[in-house]
Amino acid sequence: MAQLYMKRMNTLSESQMRTMAQLYMKRMNTLSESQINFRQQYRVPLETRMICDINPKEIETIISSMTYNKSEDIYGLSVVVLRGISEVISKPLAVLFNKWMTDGVFPDELKLARVVPIKKKGDTLELNNYRYD
């Protein structure tokens, strides 16, 4: 994945890279303090929440409904592994999910993803010829 990304980056001209960097910096410079510290903005007091607690059975149902495939997350977990341990992890996961909902904060470590480009047809160096799963 990193090699494919670097190959694509190497095909950009210096002008294109400069433009991308300028657009990024322009966007970053226009963010207000409240946008930068957005977590405080989205904390909702517990009494105003309309979400019911998640129970372990719901976790097991969600895991069992996942489709089998060979892909793994960034930590190496696959659906096959999750299905095999769902009864063991469903209670601790329910406790964690409910805590995150109550606190209004989702851990940064779980916001990571491995995005894999899947080639459609056409030139391999053209970004529009890929879809992302």
pLDDT (tens digit, 9 = 90+) per residue, 43-77?
555 555 556 789 999 999 999 999 888 788 888 88
In this prediction, residues 74-103 reach a mean pLDDT of 90
**Mean pLDDT taken over the chain:** 77
Report the alpha-carbon distance of residue 123 to residue 1 in Å, rounded.
17
Tens of pLDDT, residues 9-48: 566 677 777 777 777 677 666 766 655 565 555 555 555 5
Domain locations in the chain? 47-132
- Find all residues with CB under 8 Å of 40, minimum gap 6, and list them: 34
Quote the pTM value: 0.53
Taking 60 as the threshold, does the pLDDT of residue 128 lie above it? yes
Look at residue 3 and tell me whether its pLDDT is greater than 60: no
Residue 132, classed as helix, strand or coil, is strand
Report the pLDDT value the prediction gives residue 92, as an integer from 0 to 100.
93
pLDDT of residue 36: 58
